[in-house]
Structure 1
């Protein structure tokens, strides 16, 4: 791990305590920089079960002193137990899938209650967000890796989620935002965001590594090849893509977590599974954190131990994305001219969500997780 990555990992360990709520062993929805009476303050807001599960996955890659620093002496086993308890009552399938993933990978014990819920949802005909289906596949693979005999319906979950993802993939490798895409309606059916590419790449690569499934690996490779071919000249991972022709629908916002966490972790999993090596694109993505041409101010704040969330347009209520989705729905590749001048991408969002730092830790661990010694 080079010095730059080591510095980012160190920053994540220092920054995550600002989002931890020790009284309930939960994590905030976000940490926002606000102007106080005398200085800038970091203020945690809300709670988020998904983010807590992701932080658990990230912290499990770190030695116990780092875990203790983030969790303020609470053991990681307590965080996992709290996440599992809340997930059993949650109606958020994404949180359920991430928790099932963490239960298997961090606690070393597939959670049959959560896995059964995922299997039942996949067996239904209801549409699924692509991201959630990908997390289901990752949870199933993690459970099968721990114990194929005690993983309950994990094999069924893995096969069904794998099939649904590959069936929806576009001709140029781009995944839509939902499975099936038609469930989104005319104006959004053709659009897939960056997360809709990264999580399928990761989970399909892991499934291929576990099973030797060449078709799953090929699907992951095609998606990775396309987003890498479209990467910005300064290393930007763009935001919205067109499933029909593999073009960029709208580039902004550019999210910091895509640069330092999500793209690296998926592309590392791909090459580990026998897929293509995209190290150059990973490095270019990291470079954007330091040399972003859109804004002058820093994105990596050593002083606050945070990485600011994104660079976006100065616009009313996601106007550029709505316009781009509409114009490209009428004709692939049709964009309004002069949009960058009218709605310039020059605004930093001064907040940091704990999952962003969690994925940073997870992406750069290069080894086995520090599995829990005690679980509940």
Structure 2
């Protein structure tokens, strides 16, 4: 998929930037996008981890559903069918099944019968729901809602049951969401926890005209906007029981340009004040308005830099966990550290670019982002 002209006048420069970046992450021998593209100048930058490759590929295909003009060299149906079959042969997480439902619904592509039977078995066994993490439940709910738009009779009752479970076990009085249904660590939740369950609430609320679901999502959106950092950074770790930020780091670019805009677009639609400003402020962090005063873009590769992380924590989560537990016990709100204590995680993952496609593939109302000069300069046609 390399060295081809994939620029179009129908896509924004931001979307074409992401499409060109994805071209670099394509693994032609496997028919999927890679787990990681390393940005440390190694000779073979693409790293494949098959279960992750498959999930990330489905996430990218989800984003492609919102692209006005998909490059001709990308066969959406073939790539979808080839990868969705691996869900039964690889040790994938349950959320991969959810994104398969979601992507299939958005692309208008049917899942293979054996994959559907496997998903039906999981959803009919409520004991399995008890082990769902927030990402599992969130993506499954959105996927089921997507399928319900096609076959309401089959999928709507499932969506209703799952949403009731979400309300019962994952919604905190603080307005944030727990990360699990049970267990002592359920209160410790990430920004991703909030994103996936927010998307689930908005999706279910819109499908079923359920105002309570929309208001729960709006409340969480407002809580997160209130906790957005001074440079637009989205905190990583929360005590969902108290609604407290336990740690800002690491700050992930995908949250800034992809995942936060995904739910904030819905929050804006449903009247949450400040949602649009939060999108722009968060994206400006990517453009360089951050603690390191460094753009999180790699223009000559059309890629993004994954995150800003505390020094010494690139390969361990131990100190992050200790810090979060200490802040939780002391009821102490996390703050930003001195920039000298931060470094970059030099990698890019395909799903990150997929979130750009999803969140901005059909937006024409944010030219300061989608047509920013940083993308305009790099998205001229390849000759």
Whether the TM-score (by the shorter chain) exceeds 0.5 is yes
Q: Which residue of 2 aligns with 1:103?
A: 104
Gapped runs of 5+ residues in structure 2? Answer: 1-10, 364-383
Counterpart pick for 2:134 among 130, 133, 137: 130
1:285: how far off? 0.4
Q: Which residue of 2 aligns with 1:373?
A: none
Counterpart pick for 1:24 among 25, 30, 53: 30
User: Where in structure 2 are the equivalents of 1:208-247 lying within 5 Å?
Assistant: 208-247=205-244
1:294 and 2:299 aligned:
no
Deviations 1:268-326 (A, max 9, x none): 12333x35251011110011111333224431111111011001110242244212222
Aligned equivalents of 1:163, 1:345: Cα separation in 2: 43
Counterpart pick for 2:356 among 345, 360, 363: 360
User: Where in structure 2 are the equivalents of 1:193-342 lying within 5 Å?
Assistant: 193-272=190-269, 274-277=270-273, 278-316=275-313, 317-333=316-332, 340=337
Aligned equivalents of 2:360, 2:29: Cα separation in 1: 30
CA separation of 1:192/1:172 partners in 2, compared to 1, >3 Å: closer, same or farther?
Answer: same
Deviations 1:165-209 (A, max 9, x none): 2222222211122123xx2x3xx3321100001111112101111
1:61 and 2:69 aligned:
no
Deviations 1:6-40 (A, max 9, x none): 33222101100111111221221111113348xxx
User: What secondary structure, in the 3-state scheme, does the structure 2 residue paired with 1:67 have?
Assistant: coil
Deviations 1:35-71 (A, max 9, x none): 348xxx743433322101111111122245x333xxx
CA RMSD of aligned residues (A): 2.5
Aligned equivalents of 1:146, 1:330: Cα separation in 2: 47
When the two structures are aligned, how many residues end up with a matched partner?
344
Tell me if the contact between 2:231 and 2:291 (Cα under 8 Å) persists in the aligned partners: no
User: What secondary structure, in the 3-state scheme, does the structure 1 residue paired with 2:40 have?
Assistant: strand
Gapped runs of 5+ residues in structure 1? Answer: 368-376
CA separation of 1:292/1:19 partners in 2, compared to 1, >3 Å: closer, same or farther?
Answer: same
Tell me if the contact between 1:202 and 1:267 (Cα under 8 Å) persists in the aligned partners: no
CA separation of 1:266/1:121 partners in 2, compared to 1, >3 Å: closer, same or farther?
Answer: farther
1:250: how far off? 0.2
TM-score by length of 1: 0.84
User: Where in structure 2 are the equivalents of 1:66-145 lying within 5 Å?
Assistant: 66-68=70-72, 73-91=73-91, 92-109=93-110, 112-124=116-128, 126-145=130-149
Aligned equivalents of 2:283, 2:256: Cα separation in 1: 6
Tell me if the contact between 2:254 and 2:355 (Cα under 8 Å) persists in the aligned partners: yes
Aligned equivalents of 1:192, 1:97: Cα separation in 2: 20
Tell me if the contact between 1:235 and 1:287 (Cα under 8 Å) persists in the aligned partners: yes
TM-score by length of 2: 0.83
Deviations 1:68-97 (A, max 9, x none): 3xxxx2411111101221123344211111
User: What secondary structure, in the 3-state scheme, does the structure 1 residue paired with 2:292 have?
Assistant: coil
Q: Which residue of 2 aligns with 1:177?
A: 179
Tell me if the contact between 1:119 and 1:156 (Cα under 8 Å) persists in the aligned partners: no
1:109: how far off? 3.2
Deviations 1:146-170 (A, max 9, x none): 2314xx3x22331232122222222
